[in-house]
Amino acid sequence: MSEATERDERHLARMQRKKAVIDERIANSPNECGLLLVLTGNGKGKSSSAFGMLARALGHGMQCGVVQFIKGRNSTGEELFFRRFPEQVRYHVMGEGFTWETQDRQRDIAAAEAAWAVSRQLLQDPSVQFVVLDELNIALKHGYLDLDQVLSDIQGRPPMQHVIVTGRAAKPEMIELADTVTEMGMLKHAFQAGIRAQKGVEL
């Protein structure tokens, strides 16, 4: 048997075992339920990831809601894009800018509270199947919102509703409540090399 054929055979045997394991796990998992996903860490991709899942949800015809707790200094591409689908996405930009832009803690708190009021409406509406709470972790980290209230509102949502929470420094209690948590680590960032934020990538 040639070396290439042997490698192919080994590959086949390994993949057959892997398929059996995965098929069994899928067969044993419950069918459907609303998940809480948390995307945290210092790396790039937390909000992008939430918006990629939003695109998926739209592809499946779901009704979606977005609340952005921190508005960047530029009008962002995702807002420009997802506002094209008002019949499927309720899009709310509530924050006043990064904390180092507003420089006013009381104004930040008022903005976060207004954003949470809108979020609660989404979390109480069974017709909304998919909710993005973008940068909520930052509002919690700065103590702008009551953590217990936030967790209890998320926990009390309709059972089939998915919720995606983004932002660095997720609270341990948020991680505890979540079904899936990804920690995005920055191995390298163009900004370190002096490259400005780019349209389509960061903006």
Q: Integer distance in angstroms from the first to the last C-alpha of the chain?
A: 54
With CB under 8 A as the contact rule, the residue among 114, 118, 151, 203 that binds a second copy is: 203
Where residue 184 falls (left for φ over 0; alpha for ψ -120 to 50; beta otherwise) is: beta
State whether residue 38 is helix, strand or coil: strand
For residue 88, how many other CB atoms are within 10 A of its CB? 15
For a second copy, which residue of 3, 32, 87, 148 counts as binding (CB under 8 A)? 32
Least CB distance to a second copy at residue 134 (A): 10
Residue 85 Cβ, how far from a second copy at the closest point, in Å?
A: 10
Of the candidate residues 2, 3, 59, 116, the single one contacting a second copy (CB under 8 A): 59
Q: Is 110 in the site for a second copy (CB under 8 A)?
A: no
Which one of 43, 114, 121, 125 is in contact with a second copy (CB under 8 A)?
43
Residue from 2, 127, 159, 200 in contact with a second copy (CB under 8 A): 200
Question: How far, in Å, CA of 132 to CA of 62, rounded?
Answer: 13
DSSP letter at 190 equals G
**Amino acid, res. 166:** T
Q: How far is the CB of 169 from a second copy (least distance, A)?
A: 13
Considering only residues 142-171, where is the footprint of a second copy by CB under 8 A?
162
